[in-house]
Structure 1
Amino acid sequence: MVIDAVVAFFILGVFCRLVGANISFPENLYKSLSMFLMVAIGLKGGLALQEHIDPSLLIMSLMVIAFGLLLPLVAYPLLRYFGQLDRINAGAVAAHYGSVSVATYAVAVALLEANNIRYEAYFPLFVVLLEMPAILVGLVLAKGSMKVINANFIKKELLANQSILLMVGSLLIGYYGGLSVQKLSPFFIELFSGILALFLLKMGLVAGEQLSELKKNSLFLISFGILMPMIGGIAGTGLGVILGFSAGGVALMAVLGASASYIAVPAAMKESLPEANAGMSITASLGITFPFNVLLGVPFFIALGQYLQG
């Protein structure tokens, strides 16, 4: 079996951590790579939208937002009643699984492009739209009240959210920048796979650290970290088929439904739910779900998309 070279860097990172290798990865470099991926995804989407803008995009966007609102409502009862988590932690974890992982999306895009599988140009917009709904629902579930959604929260977590600002801003630059955007291609487009490989090396190192935390958590957390991506992924597959996406588009919609946030949502939860167990959410999303998706979930949903739309 041939493993994609980009994905192999994630495996390398996990292996290095498991054998105790002291791999030094500067924190500032990790942040820079993360910012690069957000900007590159936005620019690629904006460039593609120049030629593929669709009037039905508004309806699709509303359905995607509804999808993002629904996912934490599915995750919450599983966490609350089967996992026996308290309301605060169940809401916090559910928010992680309703939001998206930019890195998982980037892996899916890299695999689709490596295999010349077409996908719709507007998916970066969907990535942005799925960042926030789950955070809002998760907080309401955790607090049991709509009062947590106030003007200050919206300003800090929506208008000043780094992921949203970078991806939306880059998408608009890519769309309105015209031919001038092409001069950015050598850096943001052609180097995308190489930067993603370095980012996944870092993610492998972090995931390797999180694996040790699994010894401290119940079997339920491991089961949930695999089951919930499959539920979200199958639901995303169905939504992609309903919306008439191509094979690649169906796969990406599935990946968005299957992924779990470990950047935007943890920051929001730390600010709004400081009493929640952050280690539990990160262990589930980054220690279980991210490796599962990178190694098995993404290839599965790409194959499923090709089968359904073949």
Structure 2
Amino acid sequence: MDLHYLVDNLTNPALLFFFLGLLAVNLKSDLKIPDNSSKFISLYLLLSIGFKGGQELAHSVITSEIIWSLVFGVVLALLVPVYCYYILRLKLSVENSGAIASAYGSVSAVTFVTTISFLEMSNIPFGGHMVAVMALMEAPSIIVGVLLIALYSKDKKNKTSFKKVIHHSLTNGSVVLILGSLIVGYLTNDAQAEGIKPFTTDLFKGFLAVFLLDMGITSGGKLKALLKKGWFTLSFAIIIPIINGCLIAVVSGFFIDEIGNRLLMAILAASASYIAVPAAMKLAAPKANPGLYIPMALAITFPFNITLGMPLYLAIIEAF
């Protein structure tokens, strides 16, 4: 592993603010980002990255690599929750296994955004179409998770309408915003895009720093609760991302050329959703314990990926 990537990543101001949030929790500080502000910033990050991705896509020629990337992303979102489910069933209930499997088959938009910041800091180019890959990977894993729960659950009563779950997955706010912003960016000409560049580009890293501070505070508050659940879930939250990220870092080289695109594909495979999936599982699997799948994704997998995961996957990509 190239240590300068690791050092640069760990001294990234946005990441340091994440650690500040963790520290604040451990010091029992009353530091807190207001809920409305946190929600606005998350919406801004999705809007900004979607818009810039659309702009990049507008200047790109649709190639077989782009098409294969989109297809591969969807295939990953369908397969990862299946194998995760059967591993989780060794220790956990059907509902908890399905919910956690969905989270690890889906993606974390914030991890994706942080990786883009890492690529820009390292001057590594990437394609705007990867935003579309991320958006397409949100819903399939939720649907697979719900199907697995329905297939193996012994409780046949009070089942949520599958049609309702699919609708909820496809119309989830983060999915609609990222896809919508991508389309807006694609349709906007260069002169018009330049007019809002101070908002979509110049403010991005500052807002990301504040959002990661909020994520640090939230993660720190959930970590202790997860540690009480035992080593199985804790190990899963670290080992599965490493397996997924390292495997895709190698396999992606067969159909993706750009190092930046390969890293983004690896981080998407390694990340876990703690926004879209919990919202869907609250509706589809009310018996699943959010005290498991949210802290696993947010307090363990997310920090691992944005600290050690990105440099690790990049090192593998450069080696292969």
TM-score (normalised: structure 2): 0.91
Contact kept in structure 2, 1:210 and 1:287, CA below 8 Å: yes
1:206 is the counterpart of 2:206: no
4+ residue runs over 6 A deviation: 145-149
Name the residue aligned to 2:245. 233
Q: Which amino acid aligns with 2:236?
A: F
1:243 is the counterpart of 2:243: no
Matches for 1:121-270 after TM superposition, within 5 Å:
121-144=128-151, 150-158=162-170, 160-179=171-190, 180-270=192-282
Name the residue aligned to 1:17. 25
Distance change (3 Å), C-alpha of 1:65 and 1:167: same
Name the residue aligned to 2:4. none
Contact kept in structure 1, 2:53 and 2:127, CA below 8 Å: no
1:76 is the counterpart of 2:85: yes
1:93 is the counterpart of 2:100: yes
Q: Which amino acid aligns with 1:171?
A: L
- Per mean C-alpha deviation after superposition, the further-off stretch among 122-131 and 142-151 is 142-151
Contact kept in structure 1, 2:68 and 2:255, CA below 8 Å: no
Contact kept in structure 1, 2:160 and 2:283, CA below 8 Å: no
Contact kept in structure 2, 1:80 and 1:90, CA below 8 Å: yes
Cα distance in 2 for partners of 1:31, 1:145 equals 35
Q: Percent identity?
A: 37
In structure 2, the gaps of 5 or more residues are 1-6, 154-158
In structure 1, the gaps of 5 or more residues are none
Cα distance in 1 for partners of 2:109, 2:140 equals 16
Distance change (3 Å), C-alpha of 1:148 and 1:307: farther
Deviation at 1:204, TM superposition (A): 0.3
Aligned length: 305
Name the residue aligned to 1:295. 307
SS at match of 2:196: helix
SS at match of 1:25: coil
Contact kept in structure 2, 1:43 and 1:170, CA below 8 Å: yes
SS at match of 2:288: coil
SS at match of 2:138: coil
Cα distance in 2 for partners of 1:206, 1:296 equals 20
Cα distance in 2 for partners of 1:287, 1:248 equals 26
Cα distance in 2 for partners of 1:292, 1:26 equals 25
> What is the CA RMSD across the aligned residues, in angstroms?
1.7
1:113 is the counterpart of 2:124: no
Cα distance in 1 for partners of 2:203, 2:114 equals 14
Cα distance in 2 for partners of 1:132, 1:149 equals 16
**Pairing partner for 1:62 from 71, 75, 80:** 71
Deviation readout 1:17-38 (Å, 9 max, x if unpaired) = 1111110210001100110111
Distance change (3 Å), C-alpha of 1:293 and 1:60: closer
Contact kept in structure 2, 1:120 and 1:245, CA below 8 Å: no
